[in-house]
Structure 1
C-alpha cells in the first residue's frame, strides 16, 4: 500500500487541554486523575515523566527535578533538598527562552507570543520581529518585560537560577530523540496533544524519506561510499562531529561519517594538511562554521573566500568536485545562520538536505533548507525581523510544510530510524565499503549506479494517528512480500560501525 503524508496530517488529533476541567480548584492530593494525556517510557523522550493525579514529576537529565501541577495549591510532597526542584503551576503564560532551539520549538507550538525575554540576536525571524515590536525583550531591556514563570536555556554550565530548565542541544541525542524536547516544552503550556501531533508529523516526514533511501539502496539505485564529514572550524583545527545526532543522520541519508576518531587521529584535525583521513576520504563536506566576510554591507562567503577562510586543501575530492556545503542558507541581516537552532527542531529537513547532497535526483523539486554551495553566495533565505512569520496556534501542523512522500510497499509500521544508527541492521558492518573519494568513480550520482548493498539507511515509517489501521490493512495484503524483502536485506545489507565521540553540535 502506498500513501502520502497528507493522509497522516489529515488524521492528526486536534489539541485540547492536557488536564480535565476542575483541576485548579482540586486539592493537590486529589484521588481524581486529571491528566488527559500522558507520555510513557516507550516514547522517544530526552526526559522521564512520572504522573500523579494532579502533578507530574520530571527527571530532565539534570540534578534538579521539575514538578508541574495544575492545582492552585502546590503539591506538598517530600523533595530531596539536593535536587533544588523547579515547581511550576501550568499552564504558564510568559516564558524566557535564552536559546534559539527553544525559541523555535515554542514557535512551532504556536506560542511565540509567550516569549517575553530572550538573549541578543535571535536567529528566529518571528522572535526578531516580536523584539522589534517590543512584545519580546532582549537582555538589555529585560526590566521592561513582564515577569516570566520559567526560563529555557541550553547552557549546561549555567547555574544559580532555579527557574531555569536545561534543554540539551549538544548532539548527544539522535535527531528524533532530540525532537522529543518539543513534548517537554509543550507540557509547560498544557499542550501535550499538540506537541505530540507536531512530533509525529515531523517523525513521519523523516521516516518516510529514510525508508525511500533504504528502498533505493535495496534496489541498487543509491550511491555506495558517499562518505560525509560534518565539521566546524575552531581557530587552526576542525572539530569533527561524530556524535549520535550526526551519526544517525548520515546513516539515514544512506551515507556514513568519515570515521576519524576510530583511526587514532582524534576528534580535531589539522586543516593545513591533506594527509588526514578527514580530507582523503571525505566525499562530501558539510561546513557548519560561522564565517564573516567584508565590511557592511556584509558579503556572504563565496567559493574563493571559503577556500581562504577554511584552509581546507583545495586538491581533495570534495573540493575539486564542488561537493562542499555551507549550512548558512537561512541567514539574518547580521550574517547569523540558524542551522544549530532550527535544525534540531526540523530533523526531517536536515535529512532531506543531506539526501539531496548524496543523490540530487532523489527529489528534484526539493529546495535545500539549510545547505548551500559556497560558489553560490546568492542562494539564501533571508531571516528578516517580521512577526507575521510567527506560527499561529491553529496552524501548527499546516505550517510544517511537510514534504510529499510515498512510503515503499514494505514499510508498514514503526521502526527506529531517526533514533539509532543503522537501526534496521545494527549488527552488520560496512568496513568493505570504500569512499567514492578513494575509488575515483566520479560523482557516484547516476540514477542506475549499483550500490552493491544497502549502506546504513534505516527502514522507517510513521507511527502516528492513522498508521495503526494502515499497518493492519497492509499486513494482510503483503505478508509474503514483506518476508521476501526481509530475507533480501538480511542477506545483502552492509551496516555501519562509525564510532561516536562526545563532541557537541
Structure 2
C-alpha cells in the first residue's frame, strides 16, 4: 500500500512540473485525437472519425470559431450512449459523469454490466456518444474501439471523454498511472521470460457457412507481445479468416494457448465449443498434438459477467489495458503476482466458470480501482519457476512485429522530445524523493478500508 501511495504522489508532483517536462499521454496524433486550446475554449479533434468539437463554457456563444465545428457547452449534463466501451471509461471519472448518462440504445441498456449507471429507456439527453463516423446533430463520436490502436492508445481516450466534463486534468493523472502500471508489468515479465509461449486469439462467427478468424489487429498483437508471448497469426500477406476448417486448424499449428471470443449460447460448454470448432476428439487429426488442445489451454474473456450473463470485457477492456495485460500474463505465469486473480480470462477448457459482479464494486474512484488489483515493482525481478512447463511447440510468428512491443510508443518520439522528457525527469528526481518522504510522513496512521473484488484462481 505504501508503494502505491508513493506512486500516486510522484505522479501528482510530475503533474505540477512545468508543461515542457511533462509526458502528455493524450495529445498525440498516434492516439487518434488531439486538442487545441484557445482563449476561453478548446477544440477537440477526433482524427479517426475526422470530426471536431468546440468545447465552450456553459452560457456564452463564441462567434469567432470558424468552420463547420459544432459548439458544445461543457460540462455536459445529459447524454445518451450508443457505444458500450465508453462506460468503462466513465467509471474512472467522477459521479458527475456517470450520472449524466441518462439513457442509451436498447442494446446498450441490455448489455451494460456496470452498477455505476442508472440509465432509463424513458429519459432524454442533449447529446449522444456513438462510435463510427456519425454526423448526426448532437452526436459525439468516441473511437476508442478502433482496431488500429494499441492498448495504451485506447486508454488515452479517457482524457478525450473527460474534456466534455472539464475533468481532463484528473483523467490525465489516471491515464499516467495506468500507463505506469502497464509498462511496469510489461518490463518485468519481458525481462525474465526467455522461452515464450505461443498464443492465438480466435473466433468462430456463427454464420452459414461457418467462418473462423484469427485476430491480427494492432490491439491483439501488442497485448500478446507485451505479455512476453509469441502470437500465432497469419502474416500480412495472408487472410485471417477461414471458411475451410482444415486451413483454420493448420493456421493454429504451434499454439500453446488459445484465447477465444466466439459467441456462445447459454449453457454451451467445452464439448459444444469443440463441435463449433470442428475439433472432434479421437479423430487423430494433427491438432490433437497441439499444446492448446492436449493440455486444454483454451481461455475465454467473458469471465466477469452481469447478473443477466453479459460479459464485462467489451465494456471495460479498452479503459483498463493494465488489467488486460495482467490477465494475459496470469494465464501463462500464475506466480507473476500471487495476489492477482484474473479479471476477465478463465480456463474454459477445464470447466472454470464466469464470476458475477460483486456487491461492493467500486464506482467513480480511480485511486481505489487502480491500486487494489495490481502490485508491480521493478525492483522485484520475475523469473518463471523451474517447475513450470516449458512451451511445447516450436513456432514461426508473423512478420508484423508480434515479437516486439509497441505499447509505449516510445520509438515514435523524436530525439528532441526524448531529450526534453529525460531532462524533465532528471530535474525532478530530487524533488520526487522529498515529496515521497513527505507523503509517507503525512499519511494516515490507519489504512483506509478499500472495496475491491477477487475472482477464483485459474
TM-score by length of 2: 0.73
Q: After TM superposition, give the deviation of residue 343 of structure 1 in Å.
A: 0.8
2:404 alignment counterpart: 456
1:213 alignment counterpart: 189
**Range with greater deviation from structure 2 (274-283 or 189-198):** 274-283
Q: After TM superposition, give the deviation of residue 200 of structure 1 in Å.
A: 1.2
For residues 294 and 102 of structure 2, the distance between their equivalents in structure 1, rounded to whole angstroms, comes to 48
Q: CA 1:265–1:165 in structure 2 vs 1: closer, same or farther (change >3 Å)?
A: closer
Residue pairs, 1:120-269, within 5 angstroms: 120-127=109-116, 130-131=117-118, 136-137=119-120, 141=121, 144-145=122-123, 147-154=124-131, 156=132, 158-217=134-193, 222-224=194-196, 226-234=197-205, 235=207, 236-262=210-236, 264-269=237-242
Q: CA 1:405–1:273 in structure 2 vs 1: closer, same or farther (change >3 Å)?
A: same
Residue pairs, 1:89-488, within 5 angstroms: 89-110=73-94, 111-119=97-105, 120-127=109-116, 130-131=117-118, 136-137=119-120, 141=121, 144-145=122-123, 147-154=124-131, 156=132, 158-217=134-193, 222-224=194-196, 226-234=197-205, 235=207, 236-262=210-236, 264-270=237-243, 272-273=245-246, 276-293=249-266, 299=267, 301-312=268-279, 315=288, 316-383=290-357, 389=361, 391-392=363-364, 395-400=365-370, 401-408=372-379, 436-439=391-394, 456=404, 468=425, 472=429
Q: Deviations over 1:386-421 (max 9, x none)?
A: 7x74614xx3212223411111489xxxxxxxxxxx
1:60 alignment counterpart: 46
Q: Does the CA-based 8 Å contact 1:287-1:326 persist in structure 2? A: yes
**Range with greater deviation from structure 2 (177-186 or 357-366):** 357-366
Q: After TM superposition, give the deviation of residue 437 of structure 1 in Å.
A: 4.7
Q: CA 1:6–1:455 in structure 2 vs 1: closer, same or farther (change >3 Å)?
A: farther
TM-score by length of 1: 0.67
Aligned length: 381
Q: Deviations over 1:324-350 (max 9, x none)?
A: 101110112333212122111111111
Q: After TM superposition, give the deviation of residue 184 of structure 1 in Å.
A: 0.7
Q: Deviations over 1:329-376 (max 9, x none)?
A: 011233321212211111111101111223232223221111111145
Q: CA 1:198–1:41 in structure 2 vs 1: closer, same or farther (change >3 Å)?
A: closer
Q: Does the CA-based 8 Å contact 1:286-1:326 persist in structure 2? A: yes
2:385 alignment counterpart: none
Q: After TM superposition, give the deviation of residue 309 of structure 1 in Å.
A: 2.9
Q: CA 1:305–1:116 in structure 2 vs 1: closer, same or farther (change >3 Å)?
A: same
Q: After TM superposition, give the deviation of residue 209 of structure 1 in Å.
A: 0.4
Q: Does the CA-based 8 Å contact 1:283-1:323 persist in structure 2? A: yes
Q: CA 1:409–1:335 in structure 2 vs 1: closer, same or farther (change >3 Å)?
A: closer
Q: Deviations over 1:242-285 (max 9, x none)?
A: 111111111111113213143x5401024632675422122211
Look up the SS of the partner of 1:352 in the other structure.
helix
For residues 353 and 12 of structure 1, the distance between their equivalents in structure 2, rounded to whole angstroms, comes to 25
Q: Does the CA-based 8 Å contact 1:202-1:402 persist in structure 2? A: no
Q: After TM superposition, give the deviation of residue 180 of structure 1 in Å.
A: 0.8
Look up the SS of the partner of 1:69 in the other structure.
strand
Q: Deviations over 1:456-505 (max 9, x none)?
A: 357979999xx93698469xxxxxxxxxxxxxxxxxxxxxxxxxxxxxxx
Unaligned runs of 5+ in 2: 16-23, 282-287, 382-389, 396-401, 411-417, 432-458
- The counterpart of 2:56, out of the listed 44, 69, 73, is 69
Q: CA 1:357–1:10 in structure 2 vs 1: closer, same or farther (change >3 Å)?
A: same
Q: CA 1:195–1:41 in structure 2 vs 1: closer, same or farther (change >3 Å)?
A: closer
Look up the SS of the partner of 1:438 in the other structure.
coil
Q: CA 1:92–1:160 in structure 2 vs 1: closer, same or farther (change >3 Å)?
A: closer
Q: CA 1:43–1:60 in structure 2 vs 1: closer, same or farther (change >3 Å)?
A: closer
Q: CA 1:460–1:6 in structure 2 vs 1: closer, same or farther (change >3 Å)?
A: farther
